[in-house]
A = this chain, B = another copy of it.
Amino acid sequence: MKRAEELGERKIIEIVQSHLDLMPKMPIPFGDDVSACAIGSGELAILKTDMLVAKTDVPLGMSLWQAARKAVVMNISDFAAKGVKPSAMLVSLGLPKGIVERDVEELARGLNAGAREYGAYIIGGDTGEASDLVVSLSLFGTAAQGEVMLRSGAKPGDFLAVTGFFGKTSAGLKILLNDLDVIEKVRKVLVESVLLPRARLKEGLALSRTDAVTATIDSSDGLAWSLHELARASNVGFLVDKLPIAREAERFAEDNNIDPPKLALYGGEEYEIVLTVKPRLWSAAEEAVTRVGGRLLRIGIVTAKKRVLFEMKGNKHVIKPRGYEHFKT
């Protein structure tokens, strides 16, 4: 009989799903970044829940305010990737016994700050005792059916793109956990990417208003894993010809003898949108994102061949289906 740490998060989710009766005519299939329920007149209720557990999701050096805000960002990022505006949020707080009044205040302020940063409100919740700090959030919004960007529409020939550079969070985590060496200016950027992550909501909303996007996923389990999931859902492959490595991550990698592509590919807790775009509408997509202050980086192309590869200095390498996974990592 396999235990949780042998099964891993994804297999556990698979087991749970296999025992659930399917809602007839589910507007968004199981396994996409958000769930949905039809509410009439072609409108969908969009729902998402994600749980932050201090033991695994809150690194040393992160304050309770930052942890609470991060719990919000984790959930908002999935709405961002689907191009859905979050309206309201409920919070379930599991608190360990020793926690004091000031801690509760700090958590509340962090939750509120996160929600307001993205235009949402916390409208209810619940609290109880737990062995570990647990912040379980559920997010609600509405969207027109057919306007939600899914994981499943990428076509061979589409451009592969991301909304930002990768590698900063894994570098920042390594710094926080192992106290690794790096010059102060770079350290600050890398650590901040861990403590104050940002979701690409403006970018996601802008992209969803164009007709350019064929598939999207949020990158919270790392770039490599997100590419594999997107490939699987769309039944395609990818060739990455320009790895989006953050300058600061590259610098950190060089200073610490780490392979920069690995830092960018196999991280996690990075809240970019990974997407595919119709080539003839590329400039429309790019312009939409630029107009809201973001950027769209073309990093490769969708292939009919179902492999996920990256090309560097003329050589092709396999991108492994590896990323952050609860229980296993």
Q: Known contacts being A20-B111, A92-B50, is A100 close to B39, with CB within 8 Å? A: no
**Most B Cβ at <10 Å: residue of A3, A91, A112, A130:** A130
Q: In the complex, which residues of chain B have a beta carbon less than 8 angstroms from the beta carbon of A55?
A: 129-131
Of A116-124, A167-175, A222-230, the stretch lying at the interface with chain B is: A116-124
| Chain A contact residue count (CB 8 A cutoff) | 80
A contact face: mostly helix, strand, loop, or mixed: mixed
Give A222 to B12 CA distance when docked, in angstroms: 35
Cross-chain contact B47 with A88 (CB below 8 angstroms): yes
Q: Known contacts being A35-B90, A104-B4, A105-B19, is A47 close to B128, with CB within 8 Å? A: no
The 22 listed contacts between A and B (C-beta, < 8 Å) are: A1-B100, A4-B100, A7-B104, A12-B104, A16-B111, A17-B108, A19-B112, A21-B115, A21-B121, A30-B124, A35-B123, A37-B88, A39-B45, A45-B88, A49-B124, A49-B125, A51-B136, A53-B129, A53-B131, A92-B138, A130-B132, A134-B134
- Beyond A16-B93, A49-B136, A131-B131, 19 additional pairs, beta carbon < 8 A: A3-B100, A4-B96, A4-B97, A4-B99, A4-B129, A19-B109, A19-B112, A21-B115, A23-B88, A30-B123, A30-B124, A36-B123, A39-B39, A39-B43, A47-B88, A47-B124, A47-B140, A51-B126, A92-B92
